[in-house]
Amino acid sequence: MNSFEVTGRDVTRAWIAACNALDRKDNPSRTGLHTVVRITDPTTDDTGFRTELDRLRTAKRHEPIDTVAGTLFPVGLAARAADHADLVSRYRAMYPRLKKFPGNAHGTYFGRLVAYPGVKKTDIDQVGNIISRLRKQASGKGPMTAAYEADLAHPDDVPTELLVHAADRDNLYRGFPCLSHISFQLDRDGRVHAAALYRSHYMFERAYGNYLGLGRLLAYIADQADLAVGTLTVVAGHAHLDGPITAIRPLLSDTPPLAA
C-alpha cells in the first residue's frame, strides 16, 4: 500500500508536496491510501501558481479553483453578509437554485454545513453550533483544551465537528459527497485547528480548491469566535494524481515564492 504524510507551510506548497508524493516511479498508478496532508498556514497560497494551475485546468474544462473552493465556503457572500445569521439566511434562500446546477443535485458542501438534514426534518446550522461552542470554550465557560471525538455524532448533539455525509441518503459509490466530515480543535494558545476526512481526493481536479476552501472556512470560524487560525490537516482514504501529468510535472518542480 502506498501512503504518505507531508507538511507544507501554505496551500501551494502542501499541494505540490502531496502530488510529488504520488508521482513516483515506484507508484505507477499515482494513487495512495490513507494519505495525510498538513498545511501550516491554510489561509495563504501563491496566487501566481494558482493562476497557472487554473490555466491547465481550464484546458481540461474543469471549474476554476475558486469555484471549487466556493462549494466549501462562499467567501464573496460572507463578505456581504452582516453577520453569520445573515450569511446562513442568504445561503439557504439561494440553496434551491444552487441544487439545479450540474453536479449539485445532492447539494453542496457548504449547504450541508449550514442546512444539514436533521432528524426532525429541520435544517441544522452546524457552522453556527461550532462557532458558539468555540466562543464558550474561549471564554472560560468550557474546557480550554483540544476537543476530540471518538465517533461521529449527529449535529443535534452540538459536537465539535461538521458532518457532510448523511447515511440515509448518500449511498453512491462515486460522487458527492467525497468529504465526510470536518472536526475542529481549540488549543490552549487560542488557535482553532481543523481536520477534514475525504473518502477520495483527485489532486488535479479538486484538491487545490478543496484545500483553499477549507482554509477559508477555518479562517471564518476562527474569526467569528474571536480566535486565531491554526493548522489544517486533510486525510484522504484514496488519493489520485489525475489530469495531464506531463503538463503538471513542471509545476511540481517549482518552488513558488510565499504570497504576501
List the helix and strand counts (H, then E) for the chain. 9, 9
Q: Please determine, for residue 14, whether its predicted confidence score (pLDDT) is greater than 60.
A: yes
pLDDT computed for residue 139 by the predictor: 79
pLDDT computed for residue 107 by the predictor: 76
pLDDT computed for residue 42 by the predictor: 98
If you write DSSP's letter for every residue of 100-130 in order, what string do you get? TSTT-TT--HHHHHHSEE-TTS-EE-HHHHH
pLDDT computed for residue 74 by the predictor: 96
Q: Please determine, for residue 54, whether its predicted confidence score (pLDDT) is greater than 70.
A: yes
For all residues of the chain together, what is the average pLDDT? 84
pLDDT computed for residue 149 by the predictor: 31
pLDDT tens, position by position, 121-152: 578 888 998 999 899 888 776 554 454 232 33
pLDDT tens, position by position, 187-230: 989 999 999 999 889 999 999 999 999 999 999 999 999 999 99
Q: Please determine, for residue 158, whether its predicted confidence score (pLDDT) is greater than 50.
A: no
pLDDT computed for residue 159 by the predictor: 46
User: What pTM, to 2 d.p., does this model score?
Assistant: 0.85
pLDDT computed for residue 141 by the predictor: 64
Q: Cell for 7? A: 507538511
pLDDT computed for residue 177 by the predictor: 59
Distance CA 38, CA 45 (A): 14
Which among 38-47, 151-160, 191-200 has the top mean pLDDT? Answer: 38-47
Q: Please determine, for residue 174, whether its predicted confidence score (pLDDT) is greater than 60.
A: no
pLDDT computed for residue 66 by the predictor: 96
pLDDT tens, position by position, 62-105: 999 999 999 999 999 999 999 999 999 999 999 888 877 776 66
pLDDT computed for residue 257 by the predictor: 54
Long-range CB contacts for residues 103-109, cutoff 8 Å, separation at least 24: 103/176, 106/169, 106/170, 106/172, 106/175, 106/176, 106/177, 107/176, 108/71, 109/71, 109/72, 109/164, 109/177, 109/179, 109/213
